[in-house]
Amino acid sequence: MIVWPSHERLYRAEQVRELDRLTIAAGTTGFDLMQQAGRTAFRHLTRQWPDTRSITVVCGGGNNGGDGYVIAALAKRTMRVQVLAVTDPKTLSGEAEEAYQWALQRGVVVTRWQPESVITGQVVVDALLGIGLSGEVKAPFDTVIDQINSSEKPVLSVDVPSGLCADRGIPLGCAVQADLTVTFIGKKIGLWTGEGPALAGIRRFEPLLVPELVRAQVSETAEMISQEDIARLIKPRRRTAHKGDCGRILLVGGDLGFAGAIMLASQTAARSGAGLVKVMTRPEHVTALISRQPELMVSGLTSMHQLDEWLEWCDVVVLGPGLGQGGWGQQLWQKAMLATCAKIIDADALNLMATKPAFMQQLSDSAKNWVLTPHPGEAARLLECSVAEIEQDRPGAVRRIQQKFGGSVLLKGAGTLIFDGNLLSVNNSGNPGMASGGMGDVLAGLIGALRAQGLSGYDAACVGTQVHGLAADQLATQFGERGLLAADLIRPIRVLLNPECTKNEF
Cα distance between residue 468 and residue 373, in whole Å: 13
Residue 156: helix, strand or coil by DSSP? strand
Decide: 415 and 224 in contact? Cβ < 8 Å.
Answer: no
How far is CA 100 from its chain centroid? 36
Report the alpha-carbon angle 343-346-351, nearest 5.
115
Report the alpha-carbon angle 54-55-58, nearest 5.
160
- The b/e string for 440-455 (b: 16+ C-beta within 10 A; e otherwise) is bbbbbbbbbbbbbbeb
Q: How many CB atoms lie within 10 A of CB 222?
A: 23
State the sign of the Cα–Cα–Cα–Cα dihedral 324, 260, 445, 389: negative
Decide: 223 and 4 in contact? Cβ < 8 Å.
Answer: yes
Cα distance between residue 63 and residue 284, in whole Å: 65
Decide: 276 and 248 in contact? Cβ < 8 Å.
Answer: yes
Cα distance between residue 506 and residue 493, in whole Å: 9
Total residues belonging to the chain: 506
Cα distance between residue 136 and residue 312, in whole Å: 54
Strand order in the sheet with 370-372: 187-188, 9-11, 222-224, 424-426, 417-419, 408-411, 370-372, 342-345, 316-319, 248-252, 276-281, 297-300
Look at residue 1 in the predicted model and tell me its pLDDT.
Answer: 33
Q: How far apart are the first and last CA of the chain?
A: 37
Residue from 52, 108, 54, 53 nearest 85 by CA: 108
Residue from 414, 415, 411 nearest 427 by CA: 415
Q: How many CB atoms lie within 10 A of CB 275?
A: 18
Strand order in the sheet with 80-85: 110-112, 80-85, 54-59, 123-127, 155-158, 180-184, 202-206
Residue from 186, 171, 180 nearest 200 by CA: 180
Look at residue 245 in the predicted model and tell me its pLDDT.
Answer: 83
Beta bridge partners of 55: 81, 123
Digitized pLDDT (tens) for each residue of the chain, 506 residues in all: 344 455 689 999 999 999 999 999 999 999 999 999 999 999 999 999 999 999 999 999 999 999 999 999 999 999 999 999 999 999 999 999 999 999 999 999 999 999 999 999 999 999 999 998 889 999 999 999 999 999 999 999 999 999 999 999 999 999 999 999 999 999 999 999 999 999 999 999 999 999 999 999 999 999 999 888 888 899 888 899 889 888 999 999 999 999 999 999 999 999 999 999 999 999 999 999 999 999 999 999 988 999 999 999 999 999 999 999 999 999 999 999 999 999 999 999 999 999 999 999 999 888 899 999 999 999 999 999 999 999 999 999 999 999 999 999 999 999 999 999 999 999 999 999 999 999 999 999 999 999 999 999 999 999 999 999 999 999 999 999 999 999 999 999 999 999 877 555 55
- The b/e string for 63-95 (b: 16+ C-beta within 10 A; e otherwise) is bbbbbbbbbbbbbbeebebbbbbbbebeebeeb
Look at residue 2 in the predicted model and tell me its pLDDT.
Answer: 41
239 CB-contact burial (10 Å; exposed 0-12 / middle 13-18 / buried 19+): exposed
State the sign of the Cα–Cα–Cα–Cα dihedral 343, 348, 351, 356: negative
Residue from 164, 135, 182, 131 nearest 15 by CA: 131
CA distances in angstroms from 463 to 13, 417, 498, 506, listed in the order given: 27, 12, 13, 19
Beta bridge partners of 188: 11
Look at residue 64 in the predicted model and tell me its pLDDT.
Answer: 97
* Extended strands (E) in 69-133: 80-85, 110-112, 123-127
Helix axes of 259-271 and 439-452: crossing angle, nearest 10 degrees? 40
DSSP H or E stretch at residue 224 = strand 222-224
Q: How many CB atoms lie within 10 A of CB 219?
A: 11
